Amino acid sequence: MVLSQRQRDELNKAIADYLYSNGFQGALEHFQKEAGMTPEIEKKFSGLLEKRWTSVIRLQKKVMDLETKLSEVEEEVNSGAPTRDRRSPGEWIPRPPERYCLNGHRSPVTRVVFHPVFSIMVSCSEDATIRVWDYETGDYERSLKGHTDSVQDVAFDSTGKFLVSCSADMTIKLWDFNGYECIKTLLDMTTMYPVLHSCRLETLWCPHPETKPLRCGRWPLVTV
C-alpha cells in the first residue's frame, strides 16, 4: 500500500513525536535530518503513533474473532443446513455440547414434540413406541405402546391433554395424556396414507378417496 504525500508527512511527524516523548534524542535528530523535517514537534501529533498502534491491534483481534465465527457458521451450514434444502435457522443442528442425551429407542427417532404446558416432550420411533421425557431433567417418564409398526408422527392438542399418533401399521391412535391410555384407534386401512392435522389438533385429514375429515373437537368423541 502506497501512502500519499500528506499521509507520509503525518506519519513522520507522529514518529518524531514518539522518539521525542521517549527520550530518543539522537535518533530523533537523525530521523528529522533524513526525512527533511524541521526540529519543531507539533502538539497535535502527541501520542498519535501509540493510539494508531493499539487500534490496529484491537482491529486485528476483532478480525480474527470474526474469521473464527465465520468458519463456524460455514461448517454449520455445510453440515447441518445445506442451502439447497432451504431450511430455516430453527431447523439447523444445534451446537454442542448437548444438555442431555436421551437414550431408549431401539430404532431411529422419527419425530419429537414439546408439550404446550409442561416441561415434557414426546418422541416417536421406528421401534413402534412413543416415549415421554422430562426435558428439564432429562429423565425418561414412560412409554406409550400399542402401535405394531413404525410411529411416524405425534402431535398434542392446544391444551396438552390429548396426543395423536400415526403409524405405518395403518392406524391413528388418540391418547388421553393424563392417564397415558389409548382412547381411540382410527383408520384401519390396507394402504398407508399421510395424515395431516390442524395446529390445534381439532381436525384430522387423510387423503384417502373414501375418507372424510375427522373432527375431534370434543375428545374422545370423533365424528366422520
Residue 119, pLDDT above cutoff 60: yes
Task: Quickly tell me which residue has 498502534 as its cell.
Answer: 53
pLDDT, one tens digit per residue, over 191-206 is 554 555 554 555 554 4
Task: Determine whether 109 is exposed, middle or buried from the number of CB atoms within 10 Å of its CB (0-12, 13-18, 19+).
Answer: middle
- Neighbouring-strand partners of residue 205: 196
**pTM confidence score:** 0.48
- What confidence score (pLDDT) does residue 222 get? 34
Q: Which of the four CATH numbers 1.20.120.610, 3.30.930.10, 3.40.50.300, 1.20.960.30 does domain 5-81 have? A: 1.20.960.30
Continuous segment of H or E residues that includes residue 185? strand 181-186
Output phi, psi for 180, to 5 deg: 55, 40
Q: Grid coordinates representing 68?
A: 473464527
Residue 5 or 3, more confident: 5
Q: How many helices (H) and strands (E) does the chain have?
A: 3, 12
Residue 110, pLDDT above cutoff 90: yes
Output the CATH code of domain 109-223. Answer: 2.130.10.10
pLDDT, one tens digit per residue, over 28-77 is 888 888 888 888 888 888 888 888 888 888 899 999 999 998 988 887 77
Q: CA 172, CA 122: separation in Å to the nearest integer?
A: 16
pLDDT, one tens digit per residue, over 78-90 is 765 555 555 666 6
Percentage above 70 pLDDT, the chain? 75
- Neighbouring-strand partners of residue 214: 204
Q: Is the Cα torsion angle 220, 188, 148, 202 positive or negative in sign?
A: negative
pLDDT, one tens digit per residue, over 141-164 is 999 999 999 999 999 988 899 999
Q: Grid coordinates representing 9?
A: 508527512
Domain ranges across the chain: 5-81, 109-223
